């Protein structure tokens, strides 16, 4: 068989496997948005079956033989060669995990997710502890199957960012933490800005309308996606022509939905920007979750909490909520939405204290996986470290260790990518400003297309062609560097707090 025919056969197989995976993704999206409660058990079965089928199809001997033969063939283009290399890497990694384990994990995740939802409603971690314990045990087994050096958590972080290790993240956090504490100390001694105007009554339907407008403004294509409601905002994609985002609305907190839309919109723009011709292949997938989070944090913070964005949008906002904002200037609004104050909820945290939320989760996950603590210890550890790191007392489990969906999904190794994404977002935005001197002026006129076009050209189009560090170096001429984030937040908060 010719090289072209072999590659065509490989592409067909990969796209059929993708069809199965994305069919499961549709069911999971429905599970978190519209599934009636009595459908939980059968939905778990359906997801487990599709997950197992996709895994079995990808790890057949025939697939392995095809990938190895292609990997040694001449005549492939650079992109074809890279697809095969990445698929072979994935094959060898997935081959270590048997299909019955994949099914068992999927079933456990479904049980865990519904237990988490109920536990949140009951405001009690107790109902989630045993299902989570099962997830932890399976994750430990998965780490052993995959293999690792130095720490079992490395095997799990590698799923979200290839090559990411405990040593790397520990080093970044040890550099970041004292610089954040210095900034927080400077702010603490200054008069606090007022954001009370964000905590009035904001009609749910009007908020929703505004959220749709924001998504449209930053370039989200509603012909290739939609927004719905969920307990925890998330983004999922079935292809670049069908990308779904969700949000949640609190009628007494304007910021809850607004920056959820911007954050998830950033994820969605990445998915919509991936090359359609690479559907089902590695180059049609995102680089890493650190890069994915850089997209959401860039749109949420560099853009969505930036003054230029609101110089354009604040007039329209005051039209929608005339009573709530009638005595508020755009400068007061800008300062209010960037108020630095330790809080309970990660997704609502300011750009400085946010990283302490991530550090706490990261430390808990590491210790759960290496056995230093067990699930019963989570609420106590959580509450003690929120008091130690942020100086806040956790009043209940819903606003404490039950606030995130990730553990119920089995997403261990994910949380560090939020901080890495914030760091990378600042570095990328600095590169955008360097190459496009008028970008902030355009933003003040309601035009964010330069930003989206730059991200599509420099990040989205490449899929998984590069690792996170390779991509960062290609774009900015250096690896990820916390200097850009520290410079960005220092400049921003010096202006807001006058220090």
**Active site positions, annotated:** 264
Give me 446's structure tokens.
Answer: 């309601």
Q: Are 402 and 119 in contact (CB under 8 A)?
A: yes
Backbone angles phi, psi at 239, to 5 degrees: 180, 175
Extract long-range pairs of 479-482: CB within 8 Å, 24+ residues apart: 480/420, 480/423, 480/424, 480/427, 481/423, 481/427, 482/172, 482/175, 482/176, 482/179, 482/423
Instruction: For residue 253, give Cα distances in angstroms to 32, 202, 314, 330, 351.
Output: 23, 7, 17, 18, 18
61-71 vs 3-31: helix crossing angle, rounded to 10:
130
354-370 vs 126-146: helix crossing angle, rounded to 10:
70
- Written as one string, the DSSP assignment of 272-309 is HHS-GGGTTSGGGS-S-HHHHHHHHHIIIIIITTSHHH
Instruction: For residue 287, give Cα distances in angstroms to 239, 262, 465.
Output: 15, 20, 7
Pairwise CA distance, residues 386 & 393, whole Å: 7
Pairwise CA distance, residues 289 & 490, whole Å: 26
Alpha helices (H) in 123-253, listed in sequence order = 126-146, 152-157, 166-188, 204-218
Backbone angles phi, psi at 242, to 5 degrees: -150, 85
Strands 242-247 and 225-229: parallel
Which residues lie across from 243 on neighbouring strands?
A: 225, 237
Pairwise CA distance, residues 14 & 424, whole Å: 31
Rounding to the nearest 10 degrees, give the CA dihedral for residues 321, 327, 329, 334: -60
Residue 464 DSSP SS3: coil
Residue 227 DSSP SS3: strand
């Amino acid at each position: 068989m010719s090289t072209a025919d072999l590659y065509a056969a490989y592409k067909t197989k990969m796209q059929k496997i993708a069809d199965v995976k994305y069919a499961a993704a549709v069911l999971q999206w429905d599970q978190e948005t519209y599934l009636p409660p009595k459908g939980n058990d059968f939905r778990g079965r359906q997801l487990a079956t599709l997950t197992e089928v996709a895994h079995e199809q990808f790890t057949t001997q025939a697939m392995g033989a095809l990938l190895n033969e292609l990997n040694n063939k001449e005549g492939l283009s650079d992109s074809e060669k890279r697809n095969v290399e990445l698929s072979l890497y994935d094959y060898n990694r997935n081959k270590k995990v048997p299909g019955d384990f994949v099914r068992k994990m999927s079933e456990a995740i479904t049980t865990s997710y519904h237990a988490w939802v109920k536990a949140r409603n009951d405001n009690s971690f107790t109902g989630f502890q045993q299902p989570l314990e099962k997830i932890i045990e399976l994750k430990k087994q998965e780490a052993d199957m995959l293999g690792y050096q130095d720490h079992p958590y490395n095997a799990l972080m590698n799923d979200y960012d290839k090559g990411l290790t405990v040593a790397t993240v520990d080093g970044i956090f040890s550099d970041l933490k004292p610089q954040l504490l210095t900034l927080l100390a400077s702010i603490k001694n200054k008069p606090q800005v007022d954001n009370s105007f964000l905590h009035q009554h904001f009609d749910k339907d009007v908020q929703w309308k505004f959220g749709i407008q924001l998504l449209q403004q930053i370039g989200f294509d509603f012909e290739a996606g939609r927004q719905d409601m969920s307990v925890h905002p998330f983004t999922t994609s079935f292809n670049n022509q069908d990308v779904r985002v969700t949000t949640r609305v609190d009628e007494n907190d304007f910021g809850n939905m607004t920056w959820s839309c911007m954050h998830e919109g950033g994820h969605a723009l990445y998915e919509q920007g991936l090359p359609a011709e690479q559907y089902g292949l590695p180059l049609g997938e995102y680089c890493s979750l650190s890069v994915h989070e850089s997209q959401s944090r860039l749109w949420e913070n560099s853009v969505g909490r930036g003054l230029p964005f609101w110089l354009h949008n604040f007039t329209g906002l005051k039209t929608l909520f005339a009573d709530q904002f009638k005595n508020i200037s755009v400068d007061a609004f800008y300062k209010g939405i960037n108020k630095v104050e330790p809080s309970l909820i990660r997704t609502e945290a300011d750009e400085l204290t946010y990283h302490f939320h991530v550090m706490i989760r990261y430390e808990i996950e590491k210790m759960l996986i290496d056995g230093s603590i067990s699930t019963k210890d989570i609420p106590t550890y959580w509450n003690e470290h929120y008091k130690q790191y942020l100086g806040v007392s956790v009043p209940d489990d819903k606003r404490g260790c039950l606030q995130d969906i990730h553990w119920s999904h089995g997403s261990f190794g994910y949380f560090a990518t939020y901080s890495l994404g914030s760091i990378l977002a600042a570095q990328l935005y600095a590169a955008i400003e360097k190459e496009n001197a008028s970008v902030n002026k355009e933003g003040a006129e309601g035009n964010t297309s330069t930003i989206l076009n730059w991200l599509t050209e420099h990040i989205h189009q490449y899929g998984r062609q590069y690792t996170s560090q390779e991509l960062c170096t290609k774009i900015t001429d250096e690896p990820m560097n916390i200097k850009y984030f520290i410079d960005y937040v220092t400049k921003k908060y010096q202006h807001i707090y006058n220090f």
